[in-house]
């Protein structure tokens, strides 16, 4: 199978490519610089440039590209980059796929559980209504940008990623240093829900959807057992054999990180992987304890 991947240098992209390559599949990367060979296709999403003809013969597409939401405080410029990198790139790719004479069997386009907004203790499924904050509005536009592919009849999946656990990149990687130093602790009151998933289950879930012939629409990429921030903190401390006695108060989060901190650190999303469970997907790590032990020791 020939699989097109955007965002190939990101956390999910690298892990997915390593896995499907070892399975014997051929990878074509969407790149923003000059292609180094036949395994790369140039695109310029900020300029609306992508030659649709270069995508002929692709069997599956996994679109993961997007500006990092946690690399800095959210200025107006940063928020515009977050939105544009997702909506413009997705629309461009979706339009190109719709022009192909032979469509890919599946188009998996990244999204996020930010779609649901800050929802407290409410248990959220793929059928839950969207939120009304910045990230929710971005996710709504992001998913709507896949419309040309859907109208073409391409089976399209919006992968709503939760907090992906990896010791080298992402939220957990940033937490490990202070926790290993014994200065970690809960954030705010610790009651906000964290819907997490191990990187292995992300990769296996994407491969599952590529091979599946029926799934389309939104799919929550989270483990079956979300936890509160207080539970996450306690579990991480136990796995590292470190105390967790230094909480970060809510005002400290807002002062240090602004709107970004409020959304990512204080926001609460208790999300269920409804579609993956209904389809019989087997999670490798369904409990946080097992996921953290594997991730940190691996």
Please report the pLDDT score of residue 102 as a whole number: 94
Q: Using CA atoms, how far apart are residues 153 and 150, in angstroms rounded to an integer? A: 5
pLDDT beyond 90 at 105: yes
Of 48, 46, 89, the closest CA to residue 66 belongs to 89
On whether the CB atoms of residues 146 and 292 are closer than 8 A, the answer is no
In the prediction, which pLDDT does 213 show? 87
The mean per-residue pLDDT over the stretch 103-130 comes to 98
Tell me how crowded residue 38 is: count the other CB atoms within 10 A of its CB. 8
What confidence tens digit (pLDDT) does each residue in 37-86 have? Answer: 889 999 999 999 999 999 999 999 999 999 999 989 999 999 999 999 99
Q: pLDDT at residue 298 above 80?
A: no
pLDDT band at 229 (very low <50, low <70, confident <90, very high): very high
Provide the β-strand partners of residue 206. none
5-41 per-position pLDDT tens digit:
999 999 999 999 999 999 999 999 999 988 888 899 9
Question: What is the rounded average pLDDT of the residues 193-197?
Answer: 98
Query: What is the pLDDT of the chain when averaged over all its residues?
Result: 96
Q: Of all residues in the chain, what percent carry a pLDDT higher than 70?
A: 100
Burial label, 254 (beta-carbon count in 10 A; 0-12, 13-18, 19+): middle
Distance CA 141, CA 44 (A): 19
Q: Please check the confidence at residue 247 and state whether its pLDDT lies above 80.
A: yes
Q: Please state which of the ranges 31-40, 127-136, 192-201, 281-290 shows the lowest mean pLDDT.
A: 31-40
Better-scored residue on pLDDT, 51 or 206: 206
Two structure tokens written together for 241:
């054999």
Those residues with Cβ within 8 angstroms of residue 120's Cβ, 6 or more apart along the chain or in another chain: 193, 268, 270
Can you tell me the distance from the alpha carbon of 40 to that of 30, in angstroms, rounded to the nearest whole number? 6
In 10 A of CB 26, how many CB atoms? 15
């Amino acid at each position: 199978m020939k699989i097109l991947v955007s965002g190939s240098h990101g956390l999910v992209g690298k892990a997915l490519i390593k896995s499907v390559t070892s399975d014997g599949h051929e990878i074509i990367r969407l790149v923003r610089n000059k292609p180094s060979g036949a395994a790369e296709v140039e695109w310029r999403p900020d300029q609306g440039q992508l030659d649709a003809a270069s995508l002929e013969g692709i069997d599956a597409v996994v679109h993961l590209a997007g500006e990092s939401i946690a690399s800095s405080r959210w200025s107006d410029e940063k928020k515009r980059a977050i939105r544009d990198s997702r909506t413009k790139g997705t629309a461009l790719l979706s339009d190109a796929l719709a022009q192909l004479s032979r469509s890919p069997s599946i188009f998996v386009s990244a999204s996020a559980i930010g779609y649901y907004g800050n929802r407290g203790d409410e248990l959220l499924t793929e059928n839950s209504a969207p939120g009304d904050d910045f990230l929710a509005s971005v996710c709504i536009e992001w998913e709507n940008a896949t419309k040309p592919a859907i109208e073409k009849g391409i089976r399209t999946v919006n992968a709503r990623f939760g907090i992906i656990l990896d010791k080298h990149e992402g939220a957990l990687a940033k937490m490990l240093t202070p926790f290993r130093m014994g200065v970690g602790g809960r954030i705010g009151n610790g009651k906000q829900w964290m819907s997490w998933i191990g990187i292995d289950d992300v990769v296996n879930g994407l491969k599952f959807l590529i091979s599946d012939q029926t799934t389309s629409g939104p799919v929550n990429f989270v483990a079956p057992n979300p936890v509160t921030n207080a539970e996450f903190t306690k579990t991480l401390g136990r796995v590292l054999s470190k105390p967790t006695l230094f909480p970060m108060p809510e005002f400290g989060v807002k002062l240090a990180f602004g709107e970004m901190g409020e959304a990512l650190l204080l926001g609460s999303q208790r999300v269920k992987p409804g579609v993956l469970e209904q389809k019989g997907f087997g999670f490798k790590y369904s409990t946080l304890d097992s996921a953290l032990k594997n991730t940190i020791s691996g």
